[in-house]
Amino acid sequence: MNRLPQFAPIQRLHGHLRGSLKTETAFLRRQNTRLNFSCLTASQSTPAGSPRCYGEIIASRGTHSVLEQQLCKKKNLNWYPQRSFSAVASPSTSDSTPLDGPEGAALLQGLDIHKVPAEDDGHPLAVYTVVGDKKIDDNEQQKQRTPVLLLHGRTWSSVPVYHLIGGENNESSKGGENRSLIQALYNTEHIQPYAMDFRGFGGTPKDESGFVEPLRCVSDVVSVLNWIHEKHNMEGSGSQRPALLGWSHGALIAQITAQRHSDVLSKLILYGSMYNSNMKYPISNPSGKSEPYNKGHTDHDDFPLHEMTSRNEYDGAMEDFTIGSDEARIFAPAKLFAQVALVCDPLKMQWWNLHELNECHPSLVKVPTMVIAGDQDPYAPMQTQAELFTNLGKGVDRVWSIIANADHAVHLSDERHRFVENVDNFLETRGW
């Protein structure tokens, strides 16, 4: 049974470009893309001095001139850019996101959505949380909930990662497909979860640079942590600082936040951390050129420079589900995640200045910390997790939790209840 019929087009469109120009144009419109495209065939004449073919494709998360050239090639058209293409969307589309459309809005059921301004430049940051029945929210138990901020990884934003088909009125949840970590943490009755999107991901628009940088993410995380703290103080929830949880590459951002700004958080959870002491990112070009030496690259091979504005793909969204390999591809939540992820993040976001991640040094973490991962996580193997845990700063408590029969996405697996229980126990332990 297809529980999400509205996502059927995504299944047909993943992978490389295919189909007619009409089909690709329809895809761009479905992906919240403004299209201004005009071409002449090679046999058609043009006024003197005018280009034979010009076009502009500006997506909500960046330009796609490579796609434009491929569309022209399919129709035997010449391609001439009217102007140079940049990674920054035009002003008319810079504030739009994939979640603004009807498909994106359908994924937000059960969430309260806030736009939190960054403290340094006022950029709007999408923050999601859950609020239950007001009659319950007003009691003393609600006031004692521990706030925790969840950070997503390098490719997919918070809605597919942390609120996969949530919402009590969602038909999929009635069928047992609800995999929302936000709701699961809230249902513990001890935790008030929040999740945010980095710039250019999900519901947070790109900034003027058009890129995302680690220390920029850290600064934005501090802004949101301060906002959560102030919000809970105003509601009489106490003066306890929020906890911080980061998954995958988001765990690196969380770790640097804890190292630099230990005063803004109470506890740290490094979940499936990509920490590796042997991984060192290149610094900026020593020749002094203005462009970063590592522009457009990450430590993975699926972000080559020539794909800086390429589309995310279905197969890429399945990478975190590795147990059983072939079985993982028919695992219903994995397929559901891939469909939802492509709606929320249709284009790959480009990271700059990844050498900033070299700041990750476990010995500089001075807050109570949990290291947690699946025992079969290929991206966070036991050896690197052991090194991370062992070298955490002295003088503070720490917990290492290994979830059996789980891979990188423990919280979306059948072992998710044990994950939630472990996180709940760690956050609720007083005196740490």
Q: Name the DSSP class of 291.
A: S
Radius of gyration of the chain (CA): 22
> Could you report the per-residue pLDDT of 175-230, keeping only the tens digit for each?
457 899 999 999 999 999 999 999 999 999 999 999 999 999 999 999 999 999 99
Tokens of 323: 């147990």
pTM, two decimals, is 0.74
Q: Please, are residues 117 and 123 in contact by the beta-carbon 8 Å criterion? A: yes
3-state secondary structure of 141: helix
Tokens of 214: 């680690």
Q: Is the pLDDT at 170 greater than 70, yes or no?
A: no
Instruction: Give the C-alpha separation, 128 to 104, whole Å.
Output: 14
What is the phi-psi region of residue 241: left when phi exceeds 0, alpha when psi lies from -120 to 50, beta otherwise? beta
Tokens of 69: 């050239």
Per-residue CA distances from 235 to 138, 145, 147, 185, 189 (Å): 10, 12, 12, 20, 17
Confidence of residue 144 (pLDDT cuts 50, 70, 90): confident
Matching residue, tokens 């810079």: 94
Matching residue, tokens 């789980």: 406
Instruction: Give the C-alpha separation, 301 to 310, whole Å.
Output: 14
Instruction: Give the C-alpha separation, 77 to 35, whole Å.
Output: 17
What contacts 39, CB < 8 A, 6 or more positions away?
Answer: 53, 54, 55, 72, 75, 77, 78, 79
Nearest of 219, 284, 257, 261 to residue 360 by alpha carbon:
257
Instruction: Give the C-alpha separation, 246 to 231, whole Å.
Output: 21
> Could you report the per-residue pLDDT of 411-421, keeping only the tens digit for each?
999 999 999 99
The pLDDT > 70 percentage for the chain reads 64
User: What pLDDT does 56 receive?
Assistant: 28
Q: Residue 114 — φ and ψ, nearest 5°? A: -125, 150
> Could you report the per-residue pLDDT of 347-361, keeping only the tens digit for each?
999 999 999 999 999
Confidence of residue 422 (pLDDT cuts 50, 70, 90): very high
Least confident of 169-173, 216-220, 373-377: 169-173
Mean confidence (pLDDT) of the chain: 76
Tokens of 356: 């900033």
Nearest of 373, 401, 415 to residue 248 by alpha carbon:
373
DSSP string computed for 242-273 = PEEEEETHHHHHHHHHHHH-GGG-S-EEEES-
User: What pLDDT does 137 receive?
Assistant: 53
3-state secondary structure of 12: helix
